[in-house]
Structures are given as structure tokens and as C-alpha cells.
Structure 1
Amino acid sequence: MDRLILGRYIPGDSIIHRLDPRSKLLAMILFLFIIFWANNLITNAIIFTFVLLLVFLSGIKFSFFINGIKPMIGIILFTTLFQVFFMGGPTILFQFWFIKMTMEGLQQAGIIFIRFVLIIIFSTLLTLTTTPLSLADGVEAGLAPLARLKVPVHEIGLMLSMSLRFVPTLMDDTTRIMNAQRARGVDFGEGNIVQKVKAVIPILIPLFASSFKRADALATAMEARGYQGGDGRSKYRVLDWKVIDSLAILTMILLGLVLFFLKTTIYR
């Protein structure tokens, strides 16, 4: 559990853990809209402080969130550097041929970097404090109105639950296969890019074989237990929307209003 992987759940009894999964999903959607209203130093500082407060309330060590950012650091840096060197602006700091660095590009790159980091931290907080089954139940409950349009809501929730459940398992399988390959003399860090890609092939083949075997075993287990979909099924886990969930959504709305006010009036 020292590595942060999508689908991991850390048990706890914090205020974040006790929130209804529907309120967490709704808060995540609101956050994705709100974060684009943070377009300057003050608004980014406010939303960054808010996210850090949520992390503190969750009772989870911040190292988990740092480890969650590491796999995405390449994409974050690429997007940030693209903004730095290819975004125009009147204040030019450096220019070589068609590449130039402007003050506006640096500011935009910083904002985009913060947005990426905050989205990853917030989504990581969601998965670490919510079990995959509860998350799937929340998605199914949120999509319930679409069932009238013949959308397979239960099946979508089931697929999400299985996907989140088996992401850590697949990562553990990958680590085990890589360790077995290293014991046989394979070095995944040697050679050029082509050789590194070829070194990954001995990982993919057994990983796919293990995944298909596990999927077949899961399908057999579900059939043996008489699984027939969502029609007529009762719920063992009943979602309960409490006052604290309404307060959580109200807090997100107030945060959005504050950022929108600062963006449109004071820091336009």
C-alpha cells in the first residue's frame, strides 16, 4: 500500500470516508468545472488550500498523493513545456527561431501545472476514501434516470466496479512478472528506445494471458452464483444521503461562486 495505484482503498473513519459516494462523485464533477475559474495567483492559492484541507481531513498521508502524481509527471511536464515555448504574448523573455518564451506563457504554464496536480490529487482522494463497490453504486445511482432510455445502468456500474477492483491486481501482476524477468537477466533500463520497447513484450504476453484467465474465472464464478443482471435485484449496500453530504456540495458551490466572483470582477 506504499504505492498509490488507481483503485486502492485505504480504510478510515474520517469525515471524507463517511461521505456518500454520490456526493463525492458530484463534488468531483463540480471541481472539474470550478478549477477552470482559477486563472490567477489568488484563485489558485484558494483552491490549492481547499484541496490540502480535504487531504488533511481525510487522514491519509500526503506521500500517497505525491506517488499518485509521479506516473502522470511526463504528461504534465509535456503540456506545461508546450505552453511555455509555444504560447504567444507581448512580453518576450527568450526567442530562438520559431520557439519563444513569454511571460504570459510562463503564467499559463504554471496555471495548467497546478490544474493537473489538483485534479490528480482530488481524484486520488476520491478513490482512496471510497471502496470500488461504493463508487460503482454511486455511478449506478447517478445514471439511474437513464434506465428509462434503455441504458444498461447496472452493467455500467458493474464494469466500473470490476475495472477499479482489478487495476491494483494487474499492477501487482506486472510487478511480479517484471521481477521474474529481472531474475532471468532482463534489464528494462538498457539500450535505446527500440530495445526498451522490445523488453516490454515479455511482460505484455504473460500479463494478457493472466488477465484473460482471471476474466474467465470471474465469469464462471458469476454464472455459478446465478448472476442475471440488475433486473429484480435487491441492494445489500443502501446509499444514505445525509446532511453532511448536502453541506459538502454546498461548500463546493460556495467555493465556485467565490472563484467566479474573483475571476470576473477583481482579477479579470
Structure 2
Amino acid sequence: MDKIIFGRFLPGNTYVHKMDPRAKLLFVFGFIVVVFLANNTITYSILIGITLFVMLLARIKPSFLINGLKPVVFLLIFTFLLHLFFTREGDLLWEWGILKIYEGGLRQGIYIAIRFAVLVIMTSFLTLTTSPIAITDAIEILLNPLKKIKVPVHELALMMSISLRFIPTLMDETDKIMKAQMARGSDLSTGPIKDRIKAVVPLLVPLFVSAFKRAEDLATAMEVRGYKGGEGRTRYRQLAWHSRDTLALVVLFALAGVLFYYRG
């Protein structure tokens, strides 16, 4: 579980924890758009600096974030290599047979890997510093105008929150099943690709059974407690917008302006 950060919630009393979940949602979605403005060393350095600054505000250990990136390391490396060998721009740096590395390919591979890592870390800050209930309330309030066109906003927000919360739970269940299969002599990490794919089947079947059972138990618990949807429901915790939330959005717009200014 220490290797999974997305979907986890770490209680705390930091500046980021105290922010309104609506502000954090708007900041994260805005950051996902703003990050695509970066296209050179200066702009990517600014993105890294903002990410480190938010990490300090949230008081999250760098080692914890590095461990959380391990599940997506393969995707980072694959993206880097894809740009490294298929982007033919700039001076030729290295050549071996049909493999060629250009300056532009190396630069673009590093930039894309940084962009992906920054996006994963920044979106993880949302779930690490915000409880699932607060995320559900924030999503429902932000999507509230869609109720006028008969969109089931409450149910949609609830499903998204439950999905986020189930990510670490299912990963933990997967780890337990893998250890149980390995204790019975199953080899999941060595051998030819064909054999490793076959070895995954005994892992997927109990995982799906466990997931459906958890979903059924959750549905039964909600039904027993009288859950009938969002109609007529009230909230025990009321969200309150403060100056720090406005400041976060101002920083986001300032970041967009700075990145746009330094674009090459």
C-alpha cells in the first residue's frame, strides 16, 4: 500500500488540507490544462517548482511520492523511449544501425516524462489531502447546474468518489492474492511472456470475485441505511470558501500567464 498514492487520503492539518475541496478540484483540473503550455527548460522548471512548493505546503515526504510513482515508471520509461527514438529533430547525437538519437528527441522525451510525472503527482495531491466525502460534495456542488438538464449529479459524484476510494483497496487485494498464489508455487514474474500471461488468469478471477462481493456488500449497506439517492438529502459538513482558496486560483492564472510568456 505504500507504493500507491492515487486514491489514498492522508489526514492532516496543513494549508492544503484546509483548502476548500472545490478550490482544489478547480486548481487540479486547471493545472492539467496549464501544464500543456510548457515547452522549454524554463517552463518545465517552473512546473517542477510549483509541484515542489505544493508538496511542502501539504507536508508530504518526497520519498512517499517517489514510491507512489513506481507503478507508473514503466509508462514513463516507455514514453521517454518512444520520443527518444522516433523524434528526428536537431543534431544527431548517437547512431547504431537503424537506431538514431537526436537532440530534439532526447529533449522531448525528458519533457514529456516530466510532464507526466508532474501530472500524476499533482492529481495525487487532491486525494492525499481531501477525504472522499469532501470530494463527493465538491463534485456535486460544481456540477449542480447540470441538474437543470436532468443529469443525476449526486449519483455521478458518488460513483466517482467510490471509484477513487476503491483504487487502493483493490490494489491491496491484488497484492494479497499475488502472495497467496506465489505461496502455492505460482510464478508471476519470470518465464516467457506467454506463460506469464497464463499465470495472470488465476489472479484475475479471484480479484473480480472479490471486487463484485465488495460492491454487493456496499450496495446492501447503503440500502439498509435507507439510501434513496440525492433527493432531499442534507449535508452534515458544509463547505466554506476562504481567501486561501481564491489565492490558489489566482496563483493558477498567474502560472498560466508566466508559462505563456516564457513559451518558445
Query: Which TM bucket (shorter chain)?
Result: over 0.9
Matches within 5 A, 1:183-198: 183-198=183-198
SS in 1 for 2:93: strand
Matched, 1:208 2:186: no
RMSD: 1.5
Deviation for aligned residue 1:93: 2.3
SS in 2 for 1:101: strand
Which whole-Å CA distance do the structure 2 matches of 1:20 and 1:86 have between them?
Answer: 43
1:108 aligned partner:
108
Instruction: Report runs of 4+ in structure 1 exceeding 3 Å deviation.
Output: 94-99
Matched residue type, 2:193 = I
Please tell me whether the aligned partners of residues 35 and 115 of structure 1 are also in contact (alpha carbons under 8 angstroms). Answer: yes
Matches within 5 A, 1:149-228: 149-228=149-228
2:257 aligned partner:
257
Please tell me whether the aligned partners of residues 154 and 230 of structure 2 are also in contact (alpha carbons under 8 angstroms). Answer: yes
Deviation for aligned residue 1:244: 0.7
Which whole-Å CA distance do the structure 1 matches of 2:187 and 2:133 have between them?
Answer: 38
Deviation for aligned residue 1:199: 1.3
Q: Percent identity?
A: 47
1:146 aligned partner:
146
2:68 aligned partner:
68
2:40 aligned partner:
40
Which whole-Å CA distance do the structure 1 matches of 2:82 and 2:122 have between them?
Answer: 24
Cα deviation per residue 1:169-191 (whole Å; 9 max; x = unaligned)?
21121111112112212221221
SS in 2 for 1:128: helix
Question: Unaligned 5+ residue runs, structure 1?
Answer: none
Please tell me whether the aligned partners of residues 51 and 118 of structure 1 are also in contact (alpha carbons under 8 angstroms). Answer: yes
2:85 aligned partner:
85
Please tell me whether the aligned partners of residues 68 and 120 of structure 1 are also in contact (alpha carbons under 8 angstroms). Answer: no
Which whole-Å CA distance do the structure 1 matches of 2:213 and 2:90 have between them?
Answer: 59
SS in 1 for 2:17: coil
Cα deviation per residue 1:182-208 (whole Å; 9 max; x = unaligned)?
221222122111111111111111111
Deviation for aligned residue 1:67: 1.6
Please tell me whether the aligned partners of residues 177 and 203 of structure 1 are also in contact (alpha carbons under 8 angstroms). Answer: yes
Once the two structures are overlaid, the 10-residue window that deviates more, 83-92 or 69-78, is 83-92
1:130 aligned partner:
130
Cα deviation per residue 1:111-156 (whole Å; 9 max; x = unaligned)?
1111011111101111111111211221111111111111111111
Q: How many residue pairs are counted as aligned between the two chains?
A: 264
Please tell me whether the aligned partners of residues 4 and 168 of structure 2 are also in contact (alpha carbons under 8 angstroms). Answer: no
Please tell me whether the aligned partners of residues 86 and 105 of structure 1 are also in contact (alpha carbons under 8 angstroms). Answer: yes
Deviation for aligned residue 1:97: 5.9
Matched residue type, 1:151 = V
Matched residue type, 2:108 = Q
Cα deviation per residue 1:192-227 (whole Å; 9 max; x = unaligned)?
111111111111111111111111111111111111
Cα deviation per residue 1:14-61 (whole Å; 9 max; x = unaligned)?
001111111111111111122112211112112211110110111111
Matched residue type, 2:87 = M
